[in-house]
Structure 1
Amino acid sequence: MKTLGILLSTAGLAGAGAIALAQPAQAVELANCTGARSISSAQIYRDHKPPGWGDVRLMRDDCSQYWAEVTMDSTVPAHALTSGYLVQYGGSNNGRSLSCDDQNTAVTPGKRTCRTPKVRSLDTSTTFVAIAREFHDYGGGYEQISENRTARTR
């Protein structure tokens, strides 16, 4: 009887393991996504005037995940920061905005890049735009001094 109890409990654990393994399959699929590419980009200008000092890109991979990525030409100076934003239009999340700040990765002094969280969208009516905003602290807190964006696209 004790052996039957051990067999049944082991079978139960094995069954639970099979269920647990089945659920992360989508996570594994998303983690293995390849083909990350820029689908729209724009130069970042201070006060909307050349010369450019970085780029903001709307990125997509083969699993239909989208994100915004900011890359500065050089590190951000003291008392400044730049953040990237991904804005979604259409679908059930119309108007949703994610930023590099959501991952505590804004471009701060000494850094050059940041990336927003990824959004998976299979809805072909949904479009996205990537935005870069530069802020500077002149002593009274951070104030936005410029904004640049990519074209709105899918």
Structure 2
Amino acid sequence: MKTLGILLSTAGLAGAGAIALAQPAQAVELANCPGARTISSAQLFRDHKPPGWGDVRLVRDSCSQYWAEVTMDSRLPAHALTSAYLVQYGGSNNGRTLSCDSSGGTGAVVAGQRTCRTPKVRSLDTSTTFVAVAREFHDYGGGFQQISENRTSRTR
């Protein structure tokens, strides 16, 4: 009888493990979606004047995941910070804005770095559109102040 109890409890744990593995496998599948491509991009200008200092991109993969990326032309100097923002329009999350610092993002671009990415948002709703925004900040001693911003076109 004791053996039967151990066997049943082991089977129960194995079943729980199978259930627990189902969700991460789905997450891995989404994380490995091929076909990521830029669907809209814009250059970053300081004081809205050329030359450009980097690019912001709206990206989509084959699993209908969207995210924003910013890539600066060179590594940021000390006292500088840049971030990308993904703005969602339509659907139940209308107006939601995620940045590189949001959970699932890579963190804002800081001194010595060049790029960051927002969390990925899956959207199958064809009425939902997205915009990628990039903002650059400098701290001249009184806290970070925005010195540039640009955005991509609003698209799906």
**TM-score, length basis structure 2:** 0.93
Q: Does 1:143 align with 2:153?
A: no
- Superposed displacement of residue 105, structure 1: 1.8
Report the RMSD for the aligned CA atoms in angstroms. Answer: 1.3
Query: Which shows bigger deviation, 73-82 or 54-63?
Result: 73-82
Q: Which runs of 5+ in 1 are unaligned?
A: none
Deviation, 1:104, is 6.0
Describe the SS at the equivalent of 1:24: helix
The alpha carbon displacement at 1:19 in A equals: 1.8
The yes-or-no answer on 1:153 pairing with 2:155 is yes
Would the alpha carbon gap of residues 31 and 78 (structure 1) be closer, same or farther in structure 2, given more than 3 Å must change?
same
Provide the C-alpha distance between the structure 2 equivalents of 1:111 and 1:50, rounded to a whole number of angstroms: 22
1:57-106 CA distance string (max 9 Å, x none): 00111111111100011111222211110000001000000111224621
Whether 1:106 and 2:71 are equivalent positions in the alignment is: no
In structure 2, what is the equivalent of residue 129 of structure 1? 131
Deviation at 1:125, TM superposition (A): 0.5
SS at match of 1:8: helix
Give the number of aligned pairs.
Answer: 154
Q: Which runs of 4+ in 1 moved over 4 A?
A: none
Aligned partners of 2:106 and 2:117 also within 8 Å: no
Cα distance per residue 1:32-81 (max 9 Å; x no partner): 21111100000111111111111000011111111110001111122221
CA deviation after TM superposition for structure 1 residue 131, in Å: 0.4
Percentage of identical aligned residues = 86
Q: 118, 121, 133: which one pairs with 1:119?
A: 121
**Unaligned runs of at least 5 residues, structure 2:** none
Deviation at 1:153, TM superposition (A): 0.4
